[in-house]
Amino acid sequence: MTELERKHDRTPVPKDWAYAPAPEARDIVALRERYGHFIGGEWVEPRETYTTISPATEESLAEVGQATPEEVQAAVAAARGAFEDGWSDISPAERAKYLFRIARILQERSREFAVLESLNGGKPIKESRDVDLPLSAAHFFYYAGWADKLEYAFPNRRPRPIGVAGQIIPWNFPLLMLAWKIAPALAAGNTVVLKPAETTPLSALHFCDVLRQAELPAGVVNIVTGDGRTGAEIVKSEGVDKIAFTGSTEVGKAIQRELAGTGKKLTLELGGKAANIIFDDAALDQAVEGIINGIYFNQGHVCCAGSRLLVQESIYEPVVEKLKRRLTTLRVGDPLDKNTDVGAINSKQQLDKIHELVAAGEKEGAEIYQPPCRLPEKGYWFAPTVFTNVAQSYRIAQEEIFGPVLSILTFRTPEEAVEKANNTPYGLSAGVWTEKGSRILWMAERLRAGVVWANTYNRFDPSSPFGGYKESGFGREGGRHGLEPYLDFDGSG
Ligand code: NAI
Ligand code: MG
């Protein structure tokens, strides 16, 4: 509080009622007016640009490049040069050193990056501060540890780097997805061309300054910005040996078609429609917190979000009642306010998609509930939403909404829960809430999902592999498994 003035003997009155600035205030990030592409350790002036905005206010934040085919080729050539010119041959312990440095710098600059992530992406500061930033640094620390132990990670297989990795990432966890992609690629001795999503380029561009501080050799990491056209250019570039993609199933399929027969390696991390399954013996209050975290975390822009709630019939009413009550306490608003639970929707395009699917749910006959809340006038917002009376065939039970919208279905027996949970083209994640350990194992064996959480949801750790089945993609990120797509082995490739 500011200096106090004494009006009477005993009554302190503040001089003014303004709050002291929060440690995560907007002005700790210095943005440039215009960013180029980061190629060969230098900023290259872009030929074409567009404006990136804050989805919470629609204000312009900076001009960034829309990379042309020539600019993409320049980035690929820089990565190839750096790979052949030393990076693939330096001692693995030396490679680890750079990864450790990057991890430490991210920790030191975490406030700044957290604010930037919330500003450009719309996510609540408490999430970027407590989830995105710590996990991004943890990922670099974790893979730094593997860099000089690859022979132990894959005994008798003689692992060696592949070459140049092209990496295309989405907008829901911009810096964290960058860390998931870059850390294992570098630990394995590859060089990188990475493209952030068009709506959230700023943290990746800011990260180039971390690379400079860490003194990473020029060309080892190159960042080009732009939309899907730039991404497609990376995919078809002949100088790229491996593509790692996270995003929509539609684009993932197109990339798979493009790469068929080229011999390039590919990993895809695509959409999801996860079931969060609540049995009648679960601790209900904890389960309700898990449901909330499962679908309203990051505005529901989460590929593994628990978007289909399966509740055992005998506890349907108390669960729905508790859930609705809890929903009224969620605070929707300014992403930079540390009390905010649900921030802004990432883009107009995503907001339109949510509106379309929610309208379809109402039309098909589901019952909608939204707590009373006042949404800001500017920016892109959607109130936390619950649908009851949902049939499995409805679009809101089938399609990924990627927004703060939950569909509730019921089941009677564990067999029925498994059948409904697996009744989806996706298979990324699932949640199981029950007091019975044996039932957790029984369910985990039968759920066709890459990750199954038990009595928790949306937990991540760099040592734990993450990835999907079916239309959720293939390949794993995280853990020892996450190194494999970035390596060639004796007898392969
Ligand atoms: P998207 O798949 O179009 O975009 C993801 C990334 O791919 C971005 O960097 C984009 O520029 C790039 N891209 C787009 N077209 C490309 C192409 N032809 N070749 C190479 N790269 C390309 O996803 P979008 O349109 O932003 O979102 C649509 C839906 O996809 C969302 O509503 C959500 O359902 C799903 N999605 C899933 C994500 C996940 O984490 N699995 C992340 C983002 C979106
Ligand atoms: Mg798209």
Ligand 1 pocket, residue 253 CB under 6 Å = no
pLDDT at 1 (0 to 100): 44
pLDDT digits (tens, 9 = 90+) for 194-215: 999 999 999 999 999 999 999 9
Average pLDDT taken over every residue of the chain = 96
Instruction: Determine whether the shortest distance from the Cβ of 268 to ligand 1 is under 6 A.
Output: no
How many other β-carbons are positioned within 10 Å of the β-carbon of residue 309? 27
| pLDDT tens, residue by residue, 381-428 | 999 999 999 999 999 999 999 999 999 999 999 999 999 999 999 999
Inter-helix orientation angle 174-187/110-121, to 10°:
130
Asked whether the predicted pLDDT for residue 140 surpasses 90, the reply is yes
Reported as a single tens digit per residue, the pLDDT across 146-168 is 999 999 999 999 999 999 999 99
How much distance in Å is there from the Cα of 198 to the middle of ligand 1? 10
The pLDDT assigned to 108 comes to 98
148 CB neighbour count, 10 Å cutoff = 16
Distance 192 CA to ligand 2 centre (A): 22
Residues 309-321 have pLDDT tens digits of: 999 999 999 999 9
The closest-lying atom of ligand 1 relative to the alpha carbon of residue 252 is 2
pLDDT at residue 464 greater than cutoff 70 = yes
C-alpha pair distances (Å), 472 with each of 272, 334, 426, 451: 6, 32, 5, 12
pLDDT computed for residue 491 by the predictor: 67
| Shortest-distance ligand to the CA of residue 271 | 1
User: Closest residue (by CA) to atom 19 of ligand 1?
Assistant: 232
Pocket test of ligand 1: the residue of 249, 250, 251 to mutate, having most ligand atoms within 8 Å of its CB, is: 251
How far, in Å, from the CA of 229 to the mean position of ligand 2? 10
What is the pLDDT, as a whole number, of residue 25? 86
Decide: pTM greater than 0.75: yes
254 lines ligand 1 (CB under 6 A): yes
Residue with tokens 């996990």: 135
**Mean pLDDT on 4-14:** 66
d(CA 126, CA 340): 8
Task: Report how far residue 428's alpha carbon sits from residue 308's, in angstroms, rounded to the nearest whole number.
Answer: 13
Residue 3 is predicted with a pLDDT of 55
What is the band of 493 on the pLDDT scale with cuts at 50, 70, 90?
A: very low
